Amino acid sequence: MTEPSTAATGERGPRRVLLTVHTGRRDIVELARTSAARLLRGGIGVKVLEDEAPDLEIPGAEVVPCDEGAAKDAEIVMVFGGDGTFLRAAELARYTDAALMGVNLGRVGFLAETEPEAVEETLSAIEDCEYSVEERLAIRVDVVDRGGMVVSGTWALNEISVEKAERSRVLDVVIAIDGRPLTSFGCDGVLCATPTGSTAYAFSAGGPVVWPDVEALLLVPSNAHALFARPLVTSPNSVVTVAVPADGNQARVSADGRRTLDVPDGGRVEVRRASRPVRIARVHAAAFGDRLVAKFGLPVRGFRDARHAGPGHELFTSRNVLTREVVSVDDPDQTAREVSGGSTHDDA
């Protein structure tokens, strides 16, 4: 679900932005500093985490502890880094109304809103409150012992992985949906993912790519020794259960690769929709399909079309994907006519 920014309606007090930064790279630190300086000049308060403050050295910034109160009263949590930094920021914004806005300085960066070259445009949108907020489905995880008591729990934006604790042994699991047993098999693990996480760990394990505005839960077995171990897509209101027999391998739960829980002998893991979504701020109106094309370099021209400038030149990301425009080999400066028609297309 997408909603307009509420910052422009006067519902908030003084505006504040919390920065979360991958401080291990000098170029990222410099970009965060210049961005903070611009926000401060625009009258927007800047908060930084106390463990990052010494590296950032931003004059006028408010230093806050790195805990659940860090994003309190912040309008936006602005992330400078890759998806790992974004997931860390999601932990800080989890129980607030702050929206996450990422600047991709990693490799793929599916969660980020913008690339470094468009930071000025993004900062202008923040200053002018010209952004929308998407609400992404998150999942809640309960670890239950053999007596039916919940012994621990956590949440995830991307996925949780039920993994074997001993690498040398297979993990036996029983899968149930809404309390009804479905199948059992031996495997390396089972992933329960959100649509947002469908392009992360679940994607690597052979799961489907799900558009983020689709509300659903995904179950993706990892290296299952079974004839029926297909990825499953269930209702967002379903409860997915992964039970581990008492005489099997030890298991643990990893949430977004950041939080780990042990599963007791004979216990089970229950995954359901979380009561609170994760809020992500968007400035650019790019369709998710265009993001897939840009991030993976997907060839969108017809595979029989000979007009091709070589690997890596199948698509200009600034052009309309659906027109399949390519550059002619004979004249790189001349845009070829549309595959489906005879007229040229000027994409503004």
| Residues assigned a catalytic role | 83
How does 280-295 read in b/e, with b if 16+ C-beta sit within 10 Å? bbbbeeeebebbbbee
User: Residue 275 is encoded by which pair of tokens?
Assistant: 């009561």
C-alpha span between 157 and 169 (Å, rounded):
29
- For residues 180, 182, 186, 192, the Cα torsion angle rounded to the nearest 10 degrees is -80
Q: Tokens 């880094």 label which residue?
A: 81
Return the number of other C-beta atoms located less than 10 Å from residue 60's C-beta. 11
C-alpha span between 238 and 169 (Å, rounded):
30
Residue 280 near residue 136, CB atoms below 8 Å: yes
C-alpha span between 275 and 110 (Å, rounded):
24
